[in-house]
Amino acid sequence: MLPDRAFFDRLAEVAARETLPRFRAGAAVVNKEAGGFDPVTEGDRAAEEAIRAEIERAFPDHGILGEEHGNVGLDRENVWVIDPIDGTRAFISGLPVWGTLIGLYSGGRAKMGLVDQPFTGERYFSDGKASYYTGPGGARQIRTRDCGDIANATLFSTSPHLFAGEDERKYRAVEKTVRLFRYGCDCYAYMLVASGNIDLVVENQLKPYDVGGIIPIIENAGGVITTWDGGRPEMGGRIVAAATPALHRQALELLAG
């Protein structure tokens, strides 16, 4: 048995009860990386605990891959992939571009997904057949747009500082080709692709929980999301998301150069 949309909504709601009261409230931050800065907050941990508790009650035979509380049953047919706050740096800075990401993998493929931004009241969901938006703009099915050519594209990436060496050279080749590029939107950028507002996202150093909830929303809105070499994106790594197959091909050609 697989979950329905109401269950995903329930997961988003229990997570929001933990994240929203802590947003712009001076939440304590712990650094997980001795040689750098990889922040985590009480909101991350509490939200993931709440999500996991709901899943364990409703689907005890499913596995869980979570950012903050480890993994259980990754060899099972159905595995939940959870990022309670994707964009923790944005969260602790007061920027409302973070989101709760919840994906369901079946047989190793991302089948259903949700991205929730509770501060703005925006929720994106895919049931594996189509992708949907609910929020201030109403409720509707969403589709990507066709900008025609990469020279007309709007590109987003979290930060240029995350690229180094060959990765930076390849990313800059894409950046130099597009019409407009912007930084700093984390998971929100992918939802702008899915909803037809921008065209392209290029990133690297991603983990499975960074993309698990995003993949079905992009794919079922008409977009394409893969690794830079065209492989499946479920395990993260170097990721490109494009609004159309043609734009995706153009981006891969530049990233292969």
Measured CA to CA in angstroms, residue 3 lies from 54, 59, 93, 127, 131 at distances of 12, 9, 34, 9, 16
Which 3 state secondary structure label does DSSP give 85? Answer: strand
pLDDT for position 234: 98
The pairing of strands 99-106 and 78-86 is antiparallel
Phi, psi of 9 (to 5 degrees): -60, -40
What pLDDT is attached to residue 44? 87
Asked if pLDDT for residue 144 goes beyond 60, the answer is yes
Cα dihedral sign, 100-234-203-132: negative
- The predicted model gives 240-256 an average pLDDT of 98
Are 210 and 86 in contact by the 8 Å Cβ rule? The answer is: yes
Helix 5-19 and helix 42-58: axis angle, to 10°? Answer: 150
Q: How far is CA 14 from CA 95, 217, 232, 237, 242, in A?
A: 21, 21, 30, 29, 31
| pLDDT exceeds cutoff 80 at 26 | no
Percent of the chain with pLDDT over 70: 95
Name the 3-class secondary structure at 15: helix
The upper half-sphere exposure of residue 206, i.e. CA atoms within 13 Å in the direction of its Cβ, equals 33
> How would you classify the pairing of strands 71-72 and 78-86?
unpaired
- Contacts by residues 29-35 (CB-CB < 8 Å, ≥ 24 positions apart): 29/92
Average of per-residue pLDDT across 227-234: 98
- Average pLDDT of span 70-90: 94
3-state secondary structure 98-112: CEEEEEEEECCEEEE
Q: For residue range 27-67, what is the model confidence (pLDDT) as tens digits?
A: 676 665 555 555 677 888 999 999 999 999 999 999 999 98
Give the separation between CA 216 and CA 132, rounded to whole angstroms: 11
| Statement: residue 134 has pLDDT above 70 | yes
45-55 confidence digits (pLDDT tens): 999 999 999 99
pLDDT tens sequence across 197-229: 999 999 999 999 999 999 999 999 999 999 999
pTM, entire model: 0.94
SS3 label, residue 238? strand
Q: What integer pLDDT is reported at residue 69 of this predicted model?
A: 80
Q: What is the pLDDT of residue 227?
A: 98
